[in-house]
Structure 1
Amino acid sequence: MSDPLRLVIVDDQQLVRAGLRPLAERDGDIVVVGEAADGRSGLARVQELRPDLVLMDLRMPVMDGLEATRAIVADERLDGVRVLVLTTFDEDEHVHEAIRAGASGYLLKDIAPDALRAAIRTVAAGDALLSPAITATVMRAVAEGAAPVDPRPLDGLTEREREVLTLIGRGLTNDEIAGELFLSPATSRTYVSRLLSRLGARDRAALVILAYETGLVRPGR
């Protein structure tokens, strides 16, 4: 049996933290190793404990979740620590700022308990996750011109790499991409890894944003 995933919860509401702990730990494969009530103390706890994943609120005193996320991502000692934003806010500016800060996922607090645990496992495994509501927010931002289309980051990509990035932007998993393009799952994963490297993207969430901001995927397509 593999070791449980180690989780730190950073949220300024004690009631929220108290509720999230049993939800996360219910199946036994996730353990909450620490909590914090603001971004600064959260950063300190993450540096001390080096968990697999951080559940991060955005609006907090002392240091907000965006600044704390940037600090975690920038700390080479915390390489491999993933940040999953869990918040009540879904405004465009927060989505883009959180992804650009280095968050590997962005969920709203109305998520079902089973879906939350699945999201923790997904992000801790190295994949990215955006809830459907968040993906819709990204698409709306592009449609309204909040995120100007700039295709230059795609210069140098092969036709196949563009196809894979398009499907990532549409929300397909590696296995679904393999089926769509008649590839083996291993080849699909190789293309995704190559795109992460060539585009300088930290994770899959950043690729989703790039697919929209470069115009490769557009709302309604």
Structure 2
Amino acid sequence: MATAKTKQKILETFLDLLAEHPYEDVSLPLIAERAKVKLSDMRSAYSSKLKLVAAFLEQIDTTVLDERDEEMGDQPPRDRLFDILMSRIDALAARKDAVRALHQAAGSDPALALDLNSLEVRSQKWMLIAAGIDVSGVKATIVAQGLAIAFGRVVGTWLDEDDEGMPRTMAKLDKELDKGSDFMKRLKGVEGIAKGVRSFLKKATSGRKRWKERDRETEAGYDEEAPAGA
């Protein structure tokens, strides 16, 4: 069983290699060789490159959650989310070249893009929690998916920006959150319609049951009043 120290060493080696090589060229044997660990330890720690990417994103999640600004609690949800996602960009900054390699690989490999999207959706659910935005169930997945796509666009802008103040990145995030706000309004509208339909169907079903019961009572009454031999 690989120790926590060995796992961290392997992960850092993977990220270092990503900064130097395309994702598809970074193999598990290469990581093990560079990290100076046995393949059995490599297997025990991370059985695939995707597991390494997942571990990286989990570290980023942890950093953002640990460093979130508690004083933002009285701010509007949109402002809190903006702050959280900019904190996520800051957390990614130390591994910008590795993030660029992942971004480029996803652009040319649809299967990898789907896998990375799944990981990012999971992370964005935690970003919503960190921002104090309460969504659950299917709605949480829908919102997190939209946020994952939006954040991917923001990351694309960030990767092409050299200005440390990140004006283009912040402007892009602002724009994407505006789109998200419109989406949330539409989603609430759809939820309202869905609730109305459910209420209507419930009432209609209840009405049909009452009519059926009344019909049965009426038929029973006719049977009782019918003359013998009729």
- What range describes the TM-score normalised by the shorter chain of this pair? under 0.3
* TM-score scaled by length of structure 1: 0.26
Question: Structure 1 or 2: larger strand share?
Answer: 1
TM-score by length of structure 2 reads: 0.25
Is the radius of gyration larger for structure 1 or structure 2?
A: 2
